[in-house]
Amino acid sequence: MADKQNVFEELLRLKENSYSPYSNFKVACLIYLSNGEKIKGVNIENAAYPATICAERSALAQAYSLGYKKSDIKSLELYTDSETLGSPCGVCRQVISELVDWSATISIYNKNGFQLETNIKELLPHAFEPAQLIK
């Protein structure tokens, strides 16, 4: 994977693909895979807000659509267009908890650059797990 400054610069370019006419809040996500490939995602808003797709889910849906699985995902790099620390929303945290290995690194950036390295266990310590549905 590239160094944090190169990732930050790529996220800054990627955020320009965001479709965010309602909030003007651009979010970009890069998923680094174990084979060296990367998947890109941005937020896509809709006037019907529940139809909005967050950058994390955009990238994850693309990764799975291309045939990648949880074990292929090495890290998730997230940029939020803010001055303060941003982080995945609750829905994204739940989706990440199911589709990304819990040991994968999640790095968070904002307008000021790299801010935090974490993982889904830290972001969502009591995730709802599919095993809870099986009786």
Q: Annotation-wise, does 48 bind a ligand?
A: yes
105-110: strand order across its sheet = 38-42, 27-33, 73-80, 105-110, 113-118
Residue whose C-alpha is closest to residue 108's, from 125, 89, 95: 89
Which is the catalytic residue, given 10, 16, 37, 56? 56
Q: Annotation-wise, does 54 bind a ligand?
A: yes
Q: Annotation-wise, does 61 bind a ligand?
A: no
Q: Annotation-wise, does 134 bind a ligand?
A: no
Q: Annotation-wise, does 45 bind a ligand?
A: yes
> Is position 56 annotated as part of the catalytic site?
yes
Q: Which residues are catalytic?
A: 56
User: From the annotation, which residues make up the binding site?
Assistant: 43-49, 54, 89, 92
